Amino acid sequence: MVPMTEKFDLIIVGSGPGGICAALSAKKGSKSHLILEKGRKIMQGIIDTYPKGKKVYPTIPKGYEGLFPVPEIKPPEEKIPVELYIEQVQALASESRLNIHFNEEFQEIMGTYPDYLVKTNKGSYLAQNIILAFGSNIPNDLGIYGEAKTVRRNIENGEDYIGINVLVIGGGNAAADVVCSLSKIKRQAKDDNTSVYWAHIKETFEINTDTARDLGEEILLGGHIKILQKAVPKIGEVDAEGIDRLYIHQTTSPSLGNDLYTYQGMSFPMKNVIACIGTHGPSAIFDTLNLQQITCTGVICKIAREGERLLMLSEHFETGRKGIYAIGGAISPSYMEIGSDGIIKEKKHSNLIFTAVWDAKKAVDKILQD
């Protein structure tokens, strides 16, 4: 970790297109920077959420004029799979020698401008400015004591689950993809003694045709997949050996009288549990950081839904806390813009590569001016 004595001109949370653009722009402007990425790779959020082979476009939304703000990050004019675009950006970051810390999860911001302290799961860093570029799809927690791994769509370190029984919770495509990937890894490693258990609180799993085909193919090839229907996560506890465990039950007996029931269930070490139970937006994180938001009503908002909370930002994407900016997917599909005349209005914000790069360029330009 960088010594606390070093202060960065800019810390960027997230290494998607917006985060990489912010770092490139800061470097070109002779400003020191640090990108904090909680995953193992650049653009981990896109890796985790985009379907395999999805095409990427250099789409410029209505209302924006001019060329792509940072040409190096622009996807090719021809439609290319997201995997090739990720390789393009990863190569750019490597060639540009951007300062990135991987497997480091952002936690909180303390202090005031120009002396912020950014805390992560690995340490703390001093910064004058901060750009929040962490996207919009944040995995939901399981809501039970213990640290089960929560993922959006893909599993980073599947090899870690060879030789152990693993439980995947969730009934949709994301869970199915993880189950299929883990089973394939185990099968190829000739791990015939353990299984991938797939649990869902309902009886029916809801997955699309392509995902169902991949899953069926994996089972036919000998994948060790065991399905647990109507499986309800019940207890997070610590066993006699001090290991966090998750208990799930499938069936409940008729009442034995006096409010007594018996359950049939299974218990897994929490470190062997992967939860794929949906995502949520960053509003709760903005609250934790004391960033001002407005709750939507029919009169105020035309794009966001009733009751949603929108972040208030300047024309340069600066929040109410000076020196802290929010860009990209984190502020889509709309935010509240405070105009130079002081008028506040809802502004549409498409979750596109172009808009993330545009936001980053405008935010860094403001930082370079201050």
Asked if residue 317 has pLDDT above 90, the reply is yes
How far is Cα 311 from Cα 334, in angstroms, rounded to an integer?
A: 9
Provide the H-helix boundaries in the chain.
17-28, 44-49, 82-95, 173-188, 209-220, 283-288, 353-369
- Which among 151, 149, 141 is positioned nearest to 173, based on CA atoms? 151
Query: What confidence tens digit (pLDDT) does each residue in 339-365 have?
Result: 888 899 999 999 899 999 999 999 999
Alpha carbons within 13 A on the beta-carbon side of 88: 14
Q: Crossing angle of helices 82-95/17-28, nearest 10°?
A: 20
Stretch 131-157: mean pLDDT: 67
Stretch 11-35: mean pLDDT: 97
The alpha carbon dihedral of 154, 158, 160, 161 has a sign of positive
Q: Considering only residues 250 and 205, tell me which one the structure prediction assigns the higher pLDDT.
A: 205
pLDDT at residue 152, rounded to an integer: 56
Given the structure tokens 């250099």, which residue do they identify? 58
Do domains 7-137+281-369 and 149-275 share one topology? The answer is yes
Lowest mean pLDDT among 56-60, 135-139, 319-323: 135-139
Q: Where are the domains of the chain?
A: 7-137+281-369, 149-275
| Contact yes or no for 20/27 (Cβ under 8 A) | no
**What kind and span of H or E run contains 336?**
strand 334-338
Instruction: Enumerate residues 6+ apart whose C-beta is below 8 A from 70.
Output: 21, 24, 25, 357, 360, 361
- What's the token pair of residue 196? 């991938």
Stretch 160-172: mean pLDDT: 92
pLDDT at residue 255, rounded to an integer: 66
pLDDT at residue 142, rounded to an integer: 60
Asked if residue 127 has pLDDT above 90, the reply is yes
What does pLDDT average to over the chain? 88
Confidence band for 47, pLDDT divided at 50, 70 and 90: confident
The CATH number given to 7-137+281-369 is: 3.50.50.60
- Which among 262, 267, 265 is positioned nearest to 239, based on CA atoms? 267
DSSP code per residue over 46-87 = HHHHSPTT-EE-----TT--SS-SSGGGPPPSS-EEHHHHHH
Looking at domain 149-275, does it have CATH number 3.40.50.2300? Answer: no
Alpha carbons within 13 A on the beta-carbon side of 276: 25
